Amino acid sequence: MNSRNEQIGASMRGNRNAGKKLENDSPGPWLKWRVKARHARAIRFIETYCASPKGYGAGKPLKLAAYQKEWLEEVLADEVTAAVMSVGRGNGKSTFLAALGLWALFDPDESGAPQIPVVATTVQQAVTSVYGVALAMLRENWELSSRCFVYSAIGGQKIVTPLNHGEMFPRSNDPDGLQGLDMSLGIVDEIGFMPVDSWESMVLASGKRPRSLVVGIGTPGFDKRNALYNMRERVRHGNLPPGFRFTEYAADESCDVRDREQWLKANPALGEGFMNENALVTAVEMSPESHFRIFRLGQWHEGTECWLGDDGKKVWDELEDPFEMVDGAPTWVGVDVALKHDSTAIVWVQQRDDGRWHAQAKVWNPTEDGRLDVADVMQTVRDLGARFDLREVSFDPRFFDLPAQMLLDEGFPMVEIPQSLARMTPAVGSTFEALKRGEITHDADPAFGAHVLNAVPRLNETGFTLSKGKSRGKIDAAVALCIAYHRANSRPEFQPAAELWASFG
């Protein structure tokens, strides 16, 4: 071999053969270090043997940033068993995790043979991100590549270190497969896309040896139903498990997206000199504001890609204009009821003096047994009827037909509106147009707003409806708003419930 690269290439090719002997079976030089602290050993190993395969400093030994060193000192403490970092895109997450994984593979402690699963949504995604970066780092360092085998068979990809019986391998986030692991260090890339039960499976699996650690780094996303948001909420509510560490780099809520001090707060790599500020300059001008807040400012931003558009939250927030409903004034009500494992909502609308329509809502969430007492819903309709001139109470008959019949018998103007495409497409379309034109206002009720911003459109040949299945949370108040507003403004020719029931004798 005429060069170090040729030696490394031959070593990596040979390592695919299980019967091939190690090119170098001597103990690694790092085993002679007198440094005992785990975080100090990790930092020294990474900065000595791991080179960045791309980006700033490509091909050169990594120089960890101050915030990365501080994080390692915190999470590699003996008492820590799980740690999560939330940070925006472009802050070197994959490279950092790959280097950490290689350290844990080659420089083990008393916990036994290293087992380092790299977990992502799919095996291929794990290979493409952290695991692939680790392979690239091996190719650049003979001290590491000569002491390991690399297997590349589909379904059996792994890096094996025979001297300490260690393995590093990609794995999908399937909970059943994760529970059987005996990891010394579990690595989760993009934990913002990992289901909560998958994270819990890794945490449970990590307790099988005296010392084990699960780490996840990710960026906030569109959907809050994931492990990163779940851990953040637990910390926010003071429900911090022993041995768990959570670190978040994010700009202040509702900050000016062009405030460069906020950019620094959310992107520690920017202050360390390995993020291009021009990339943020371009992104803030060309991306929807909601996308910039999520991916560059590390914020959990509602209403992204909802039925109101990429900046749905901005649209909804700008419609906030508190209004005291007028007693005795004409009022229209929309009801969306679910009897089990779902929320229920009532929305009522009334026209303001300036011609705009004001909407208020009441939302019920399922009880512990998953059921709802519709008597509460019926009483709310009665209370509204005692205060306002109810012109119509529109409802979907699937789960509210008998209660609606009882209210009809009491004299309430019940109107049956099945949630078919033919009925809901114009209702959703007219409400969407009114919201975009600023013709509907609200009181900034958080529950109401969450339902509106959770809703995702389902397109059809004549427009769109709201999809409960694809939405990112409960949307019943959004559906009720569409029913109430549309009936108040257009009142298309639907058969009133009284006539419908009368037709059946």
pLDDT one-digit tens code per residue, 304-314: 778 998 788 88
Helix, coil or strand: residue 472: coil
Q: What is the mean pLDDT of residues 140-164?
A: 92
How buried is residue 297: exposed, middle or buried, by Cβ count under 10 Å (0-12/13-18/19+)?
buried
What band does 4 get if pLDDT is binned at 50, 70 and 90? very low
Q: Is residue 290 within 8 Å of 311, Cβ to Cβ?
A: yes
The H-assigned helical ranges of 340-474 are 374-387, 401-409, 421-436, 446-454
Q: Report the alpha-carbon angle 398-402-404, nearest 5.
A: 85
DSSP for residue 342: S
Is residue 434 scored above 90 in pLDDT? yes
User: pLDDT tens, 358-374?
Assistant: 999 999 987 766 567 78
Q: How far apart are CA 345 and CA 375, in angstroms?
A: 13
Residue 369 has a pLDDT of: 66
Nearest CA to 308 out of 446, 440, 489, 443 is that of 440
Q: What is the mean pLDDT of residues 265-277?
A: 91
Residue 20 has a pLDDT of: 65
Question: Which pairing describes strands 389-395 and 440-441: parallel, antiparallel, or unpaired?
Answer: unpaired
Is residue 211 scored above 90 in pLDDT? no
What band does 69 get if pLDDT is binned at 50, 70 and 90? very high
Q: Which two tokens stand for residue 252?
A: 């202040």
Residue 11 has a pLDDT of: 41
User: pLDDT tens, 16-59?
Assistant: 444 568 899 999 999 999 998 999 999 999 999 999 887 666 77
Tell me the CB-side half-sphere exposure of residue 502, using CA atoms within 13 A.
7
What band does 494 get if pLDDT is binned at 50, 70 and 90? very low
DSSP for residue 275: S
Nearest CA to 62 out of 146, 166, 133 is that of 133
Quickly tell me which residue has 């609308």 as its tokens: 349
Quickly tell me which residue has 């969450």 as its tokens: 450
Domains (range + CATH), the chain: 4-248 (3.40.50.300), 330-503 (3.30.420.240)
User: pLDDT tens, 406-429?
Assistant: 999 999 999 999 889 888 999 999
Q: How far apart are CA 414 and CA 406, in angstroms?
A: 10
What band does 149 get if pLDDT is binned at 50, 70 and 90? very high
Residue 341 has a pLDDT of: 55
Cα distances from 439 to residues 40, 165, 436, in angstroms, run: 60, 67, 8
User: pLDDT tens, 290-334?
Assistant: 889 989 999 987 767 789 987 888 899 999 999 999 999 999 999
Is residue 5 scored above 60 in pLDDT? no
Q: What is the mean pLDDT of residues 133-156?
A: 92
Q: How far apart are CA 119 and CA 204, in angstroms?
A: 15
Residue 339 has a pLDDT of: 61
Q: Tell me phi and psi for residue 15, to 5 degrees.
A: -65, -15
Residue 55 has a pLDDT of: 67
How buried is residue 194: exposed, middle or buried, by Cβ count under 10 Å (0-12/13-18/19+)?
buried
Is residue 340 scored above 70 in pLDDT? no
Residue 231 has a pLDDT of: 93
Q: Is residue 482 within 8 Å of 347, Cβ to Cβ?
A: no
Quickly tell me which residue has 């419908």 as its tokens: 500
Residue 204 has a pLDDT of: 87
Question: Which pairing describes strands 357-364 and 344-351: parallel, antiparallel, or unpaired?
Answer: antiparallel
Is residue 109 scored above 90 in pLDDT? no
User: pLDDT tens, 191-202?
Assistant: 998 999 999 999
Q: Is residue 137 within 8 Å of 99, Cβ to Cβ?
A: yes
Q: How many CB atoms are closer than 10 A to CB 165?
A: 12
What are the residues facing 83 on neighbouring strands? 215, 245
What are the residues facing 466 on neighbouring strands? 457
Distance from first CA to last CA of the chain, Å, rounded? 95
Q: What is the mean pLDDT of residues 377-386?
A: 96
Average per-residue pLDDT for the chain = 88
Cα Dmax for the chain:
96
Is residue 496 scored above 60 in pLDDT? no
Residue 16 has a pLDDT of: 45
170 CB-near residues (< 8 Å, 6+ apart):
117, 118, 119, 120, 123, 126, 127, 131, 157
Higher pLDDT, 213 or 60: 213
Q: Report the alpha-carbon angle 432-401-493, nearest 5.
A: 50
Question: Which pairing describes strands 158-161 and 149-151: parallel, antiparallel, or unpaired?
Answer: antiparallel
DSSP for residue 372: -
